[in-house]
Structure 1
Amino acid sequence: MDRRPNRQSPLGLVLGLVAVVMFGATLPMTRLALHDLSPWFISFGRAALAGFCALAVVLVLRRPWPFGARETRRDLALATLALVFGFPILIGVATQTVPAAHGGIVLGLLPLCTAIAATVLAGERPGLGLFAASAAGAGLVAAFALRNGAAGGFGYGDMLLFLAVVICAAGYAVSGRLARRMAGWEVIAFMLILALPVTVPAALLTFPWGREVTGESWAALIYLGLFSQFIGFFFWNAGLALGGIARVGQMQLLQTFVTVGLAWPINGERPDAETLLFALAVAVVVALAQRAGRRRPVASAVDPAGPA
């Protein structure tokens, strides 16, 4: 059932912020897991782990399978390709050559791409102020990457991260569209279940058989599977549905702070003054984006609990 209140819910921003904190550890944890594991096993292993958890939750709660409607099947397939396969694989490969803190800044492009995707794929109409703030954030990110990329320009890792951003934004818009008809947690749960026939065999094929893997790497993989791939989306999809895809998507600019902050204790990447200044500038852009977003209510939102 598609419910459309006439105003945005502040709860959407709160849920989005909780998700951003969980997502902010993704790059540092991926880089930590890469000490012993391949990016391919990390991508498929985390998705398989999250998929089994999702299947258990769905079975225990006896939720109906949502694959009957053609539109739902299409959106679930598109979101699965983007968020279960495309984004994790690209950041896994990119993080082999790009420091986690640097990658966190590049991912600051995501809110602008999400606002665009919300307009194209989800029928939202963000105001010009929101787009302007998003563009300012994107400009800061581009400037940082140009100053700190390989050979003074965008490197191979930056290009992979940019492609990951585009794919992820499209996935967010489609999953946010799904969250108007389903509970937010069900969206990611059934995406992961849909991917199991691929992720399980792929995880077994890329498993580090016969290799010694440290407990730190396994712990990082478990975090990626449970929080980055599964639990974080409970909050994120509900937030997108309640507060609007474009507006809540701006919260992800704050993910830069989380990633840069966690990359220090997890990966030993102490942030320099320039990185901190760029992160601070991005936070200012987030505040401006939220102020602009409040002036243009978004038409779509649902109860995060979904239809009974």
Structure 2
Amino acid sequence: MTAQNSATRPTSIAVPGIPSTGTRTGTALAALGVIAFSLTFPSTAWGLESFGTWSLVSLRSVLAALIAGGFLLAGRVPLPARAHWAGLAVVAGGVVVGFPLLTTLALRTSTTSHAAVVVGLLPLTTAVVSSLRTGARPSRGFWGAAVAGAAIVLGFTLTQSGGALSAGDGFLFAALLVCAAGYTEGGRLARHLPGWQVIGWALVLCLPLSLAGSALGLAYEPVHLTVHGLAGLVWAAAGSTFLGLYFWYRGMAEIGPARASQLQLAQPLLTLVWSVGLLGERLTPAAPAAACAVLICIAVTQRVK
């Protein structure tokens, strides 16, 4: 296959002056991505019933890469232009390797409900990284609502952990940074490549590393196959990693990383619902209260420019 000039690629970026159809479509696509992401922690918790940390993260990436590679081959998609490979490496390091690994390590000691609310800081982290990377300048109203949502999440975290951060929280905060970098770079690339190709090529780029990690993980970590464990692995690979990121990057290309990222403030509330319904976790009163509070912040960030 030969590299294709990015100038010939279709772009889905919203055009100034064109009405809100693109904005509505982009918001809907990004929201579908958030729904898929909200099941990531419950599916990971299920996956840990059958696999060790390294095995689960590596197998998840391998399965997602095989799905993505199949679509790329079926569509006879040419290799991306050389200028895009550095960005794809950032996407791969952030959302294919870094975020899944760090959050899986965190879930060994944290509940999914606690982790979900902490990851509510991701919208602000992504907005900051996006502004630094792309030069975008959201309004003061946007930043005020985003910071308010982040403050609620941080206050919840400190309250739940007795005023100090745990080792699990450390993994989660590190995950926020690498994921924000991957989201920002993926959103930029999605202006030149279709969103599914962005995550598809990032997954394929990681395939050699994922295969090696799977071999080592399965050799040294015990495996106890269960229905929950297999279902968790399949969803983490097909739903959260491939399908979710496909919708997410398409949405970001339409409405921009900063605005799209604020939709993820809804993700903690959705994950709380799944953690109760699928995992049977008991919630403290502060968890849904914090999640509902950040929903108010979402409404503000989506209305201001």
Give the TM-score normalised by structure 1: 0.91
Query: How far apart, CA to CA, are the structure 2 residues paired with 1:214 and 1:178?
Result: 38
Match of 1:147 in 2: 159
Alpha-carbon spacing, 1:271–1:183, altered in 2? closer, same or farther (3 Å): same
Which residue identity does 1:44 align to in structure 2? S
> Paired residues, what number?
290
Match of 1:196 in 2: 207
Given that 1:32 and 1:266 are in contact with CA atoms closer than 8 Å, whether structure 2 keeps it comes out as: no
Q: What percent of counterpart residues are identical? A: 34
Q: How much does 1:111 deviate? A: 0.4
Match of 1:173 in 2: 184
Query: How far apart, CA to CA, are the structure 1 residues paired with 2:140 and 2:52?
Result: 42
Alignment of 1:30-45 (within 5 A): 30-45=44-59
Query: How far apart, CA to CA, are the structure 1 residues paired with 2:166 and 2:251?
Result: 33
Give the secondary structure class of the aligned counterpart of 1:152.
coil
Of 171, 195, 203 in structure 2, the residue corresponding to residue 160 of structure 1 is 171
Q: How much does 1:4 deviate? A: 5.4
Deviations 1:138-167 (A, max 9, x none): 100000000002x43211101110110111
Query: How far apart, CA to CA, are the structure 1 residues paired with 2:118 and 2:247?
Result: 23
Query: How far apart, CA to CA, are the structure 2 residues paired with 1:84 and 1:156?
Result: 22
Query: How far apart, CA to CA, are the structure 2 residues paired with 1:123 and 1:177?
Result: 12
Given that 1:87 and 1:165 are in contact with CA atoms closer than 8 Å, whether structure 2 keeps it comes out as: yes
Match of 1:301 in 2: none
Q: How much does 1:234 deviate? A: 1.0
Match of 2:294 in 1: 282
Query: How far apart, CA to CA, are the structure 1 residues paired with 2:299 and 2:284?
Result: 23
Given that 2:43 and 2:235 are in contact with CA atoms closer than 8 Å, whether structure 1 keeps it comes out as: yes
Which residue identity does 2:207 align to in structure 1? L
More displaced 10-residue stretch of structure 1: 179-188 or 272-281: 272-281
Of 93, 97, 120 in structure 2, the residue corresponding to residue 85 of structure 1 is 97
Given that 1:122 and 1:174 are in contact with CA atoms closer than 8 Å, whether structure 2 keeps it comes out as: no
Alignment of 1:106-255 (within 5 A): 106-149=118-161, 151-207=162-218, 211-255=223-267
Which residue identity does 1:164 align to in structure 2? A
Alignment of 1:288-303 (within 5 A): 288-292=300-304, 296=305
What do you get for the CA RMSD once the two structures are aligned? 1.5
Match of 1:60 in 2: 74
Which residue identity does 2:167 align to in structure 1? Y
Q: How much does 1:210 deviate? A: 6.8
Match of 1:303 in 2: none
> Where in structure 1 are there 5+ consecutive unaligned residues?
297-308
Alpha-carbon spacing, 1:38–1:289, altered in 2? closer, same or farther (3 Å): same
Query: How far apart, CA to CA, are the structure 2 residues paired with 1:123 and 1:54?
Result: 31
Which residue identity does 2:23 align to in structure 1? S
Q: How much does 1:274 deviate? A: 1.7
Which residue identity does 1:172 align to in structure 2? Y
Deviations 1:213-261 (A, max 9, x none): 2121011001000011101111000000001110011000000111100
Of 32, 38, 43 in structure 2, the residue corresponding to residue 24 of structure 1 is 38
More displaced 10-residue stretch of structure 1: 269-278 or 195-204: 269-278
Query: How far apart, CA to CA, are the structure 1 residues paired with 2:56 and 2:222?
Result: 17
Query: How far apart, CA to CA, are the structure 2 residues paired with 1:207 and 1:47?
Result: 14
Give the secondary structure class of the aligned counterpart of 1:200.
helix
Asked if 1:105 corresponds to 2:117, the answer is yes
Alpha-carbon spacing, 1:211–1:186, altered in 2? closer, same or farther (3 Å): closer
Asked if 1:5 corresponds to 2:19, the answer is no
Which residue identity does 1:234 align to in structure 2? Y
Q: How much does 1:272 deviate? A: 2.8
Query: How far apart, CA to CA, are the structure 2 residues paired with 1:159 and 1:206?
Result: 23
Runs of 4+ deviating beyond 4 Å:
none
> Where in structure 2 are there 5+ consecutive unaligned residues?
1-6
Alpha-carbon spacing, 1:242–1:152, altered in 2? closer, same or farther (3 Å): same
Alpha-carbon spacing, 1:272–1:57, altered in 2? closer, same or farther (3 Å): same
Which residue identity does 1:290 align to in structure 2? Q
Q: How much does 1:273 deviate? A: 2.0
Query: How far apart, CA to CA, are the structure 2 residues paired with 1:194 and 1:122?
Result: 24
Query: How far apart, CA to CA, are the structure 2 residues paired with 1:258 and 1:6?
Result: 32
Give the secondary structure class of the aligned counterpart of 1:36.
coil
